[in-house]
Structure 1
């Protein structure tokens, strides 16, 4: 089985080296070849004949692989090697490279949506979410400071809480599947998976293979409830939010912080519109059998 291993250029930091990864997948019966996701030959590697693509890394690596895959009929396996690993967690994927490689024969393909956002910057594909409001601002601030790893998760949460406590909000006008939604919001996330950003589970019933997005929003008048949730720690109940299932979302964007997956878009200098949806062609991700049987049930 011709297997393309796509990893970060820092492969070996806290995990197997590039050569170590190749050997692990050889021992699992694969014929592996590899490429760094930020290498100059990344696009060429994706076009080489392969029976399986393996994304080794965190959410940034997985997102780059899934959104650039030219042939979406080729199954993709994920080896989580990042800090938050939101995408792998959403699919029930866990294990080190040797464990994932050994389990390939038992995994099943699960359809997985690719989201898109069109705006003043052009067309952008995403896997996790498009975010506006105080969480997006907090994450942009931490990203600009160059914080990474576990410290990034902790600092992002603390910065988000500080902004919520500070009385801020963002006024947004949106159209969700043809229905208007307007107000002052603490948080507004259009999500493809249940987790986003600093390992926050905001849409636990999200099914990333059903062609729908979860529009998660928290109005500013629920600030006290939100602060109570943020102070509750990892065992706290679900946050005080509302979720709308939708295929298409359009937002009037006033040029404030906008998060596109792990990227942050600069203000265009004028009010623009952001159109968000799901591409018709899905990718196929290999998951453990139980996780691959069906998905969450949702009212539509």
Structure 2
């Protein structure tokens, strides 16, 4: 197997690039070259059979979005602090064990979410949200707060104490779900941001998105869960009602929204659709 390696040494893991290359070699994956995010191109298929994304959610999302609707496959070696995507896929979070599991890979397909604004689509892997999460991470959070889970929990809890609800017009596959909410999220993965599990039943390979609309009455329960997690760094959110849909329209975003691990300033309204099976993914066979 000819591999191209995209490695993020700042993702938080202690594994070195040399160790990754050696482990891949042991399972018969020959790293032909290393690539950077700037030079990741689908044309690599002439020289590689797979792009290995070794890093956190940002690295995984970069590879997945660049390879969307191409024939080039990707593999995931989780090395991040949060690893929302890897957890949603049920992958082993220890890098060497994750590589060992790829000795006999099975090809599957991963869905992406597509934010349909402007002349072209913007893809996401984890999710899109409007409301308190985009407000906090867009206006309040530094990189330091984003990297440390307990600090992010504190920041979100503090902001949510006084965060008001907003009126959102929401349509999910033509169904009207408009109302007053503190958060409206469209999830492809189970969790978003600092391991906020908003849609625990979400799957990245079912051709559907999960819509989560959180009412102001649920604020107190969320804040209490975040306060407990400040010390434990293990967040257990309440189970929210979710709606499975292929297309969602949201009007009433306000200034900030949140797309995967980045805050976004978006024009209102937005259309979101599932890009079913957009990415070819090599999964460890024992994962199935």
Answer whether TM exceeds 0.5 for this pair.
yes
Deviation at 1:106, TM superposition (A): 3.5
Provide the secondary structure at the position in 1 that maps to 2:280. Answer: strand
Deviation at 1:66, TM superposition (A): 0.5
Provide the secondary structure at the position in 1 that maps to 2:103. Answer: helix
Does 2:171 correspond to 1:172? Answer: no
Hey, what does 1:250 align to over in structure 2? Answer: 249
Hey, what does 2:90 align to over in structure 1? Answer: 92
Hey, what does 2:29 align to over in structure 1? Answer: 30
Unaligned runs of 5+ in 1: 293-300
Matches within 5 A, 1:118-197: 118-120=116-118, 122-143=120-141, 145-147=142-144, 150-151=147-148, 153-197=149-193
Hey, what does 2:78 align to over in structure 1? Answer: 80
Unaligned runs of 5+ in 2: none
Taking a change above 3 Å as real, the CA distance of residues 280 and 138 of structure 1, as seen in their structure-2 partners, is: same
Taking a change above 3 Å as real, the CA distance of residues 105 and 44 of structure 1, as seen in their structure-2 partners, is: closer
Deviations 1:34-55 (A, max 9, x none): 334334x322763433222211
Hey, what does 1:298 align to over in structure 2? Answer: none
Query: Which runs of at least 4 in structure 1 moved beyond 6 Å after TM superposition?
Result: none
Taking a change above 3 Å as real, the CA distance of residues 236 and 49 of structure 1, as seen in their structure-2 partners, is: closer
Deviation at 1:149, TM superposition (A): 6.2
* Maintained 8 Å contact 1:46/1:69: no
Deviation at 1:125, TM superposition (A): 0.4
Deviation at 1:24, TM superposition (A): 2.7
Task: Single out whichever of 154-163 and 191-200 deviates more from structure 2.
Answer: 154-163
Task: Single out whichever of 57-66 and 161-170 deviates more from structure 2.
Answer: 161-170
Hey, what does 1:3 align to over in structure 2? Answer: 3
Deviations 1:214-255 (A, max 9, x none): 001111133233333334447776425221111100111444
Hey, what does 1:16 align to over in structure 2? Answer: 16
CA–CA distance in 1 between the matches of 2:216 and 2:127?
21
Q: Give TM-score scaled by structure 2 length.
A: 0.87
* Maintained 8 Å contact 1:83/1:149: no
Number of equivalenced pairs: 285
Deviations 1:43-89 (A, max 9, x none): 27634332222110000000000010166444422111111010011
Deviation at 1:166, TM superposition (A): 1.2
